[in-house]
Amino acid sequence: MKYDRIIINDIGKASVCPICNNEDTDIKGDYCQICGAFLRNKCTNLDCDIELSGDSRYCSICGAESTFHKGGLLKDWTDSKDKFTTSTPLIDNIDLDKKTADESFIPNYYLTKDN
């Protein structure tokens, strides 16, 4: 399962500011020059302080909360999970008994036989 994320650019900052949608984040410094949002997802444990991926809610090293999650930029993982675990598929008219070459584009969570 893939969770909600903020896209991170090559220099470790959000590609687009998650607060004001400013696209000019390839700047010197770690804060958005428009709204002041912190553009890096880091571990909030100052003893750890590692850079994290754009979907990290918690640090994989020490378990501390990430800056994106603590700042409310990423929803809690349970909220994101609920969004994708619906009993109603988002793609209609799929013949589940017929395998096609195009089936590879359909994620497994859309393929539910209970509908």
Distance CA 83, CA 69 (A): 17
Same-domain status, 65 and 98: no
More confident residue, 99 or 52: 52
User: Is the same domain home to 93 and 54?
Assistant: no
- How many domains would you assign to the chain? 2
- CB-count burial class (<10 Å; 0-12, 13-18, 19+) for 24: exposed
**Inter-residue contact 97 to 75 (CB < 8 Å):** no
In a shared domain, residues 45 and 7: yes
d(CA 22, CA 84): 28
Q: What is the DSSP string of 59-106?
A: -TTT-PBBHHHHTTSS--HHHHHHHH--SS-SS-S--TTS--GGGGGS
**Residue 110 pLDDT greater than 70, yes or no:** no
| Containing structural domain, residue 58 | 1-76
pLDDT band (50, 70, 90) for residue 106: very low
Same domain for 37 and 2: yes
Report whether 115 contacts 89 (CB < 8 A).
Answer: yes
Whether 114 and 67 share a structural domain: no
- CA gyration radius, the chain: 18
pLDDT in tens, 47-88: 998 999 999 999 999 999 999 999 999 988 777 665 555 444
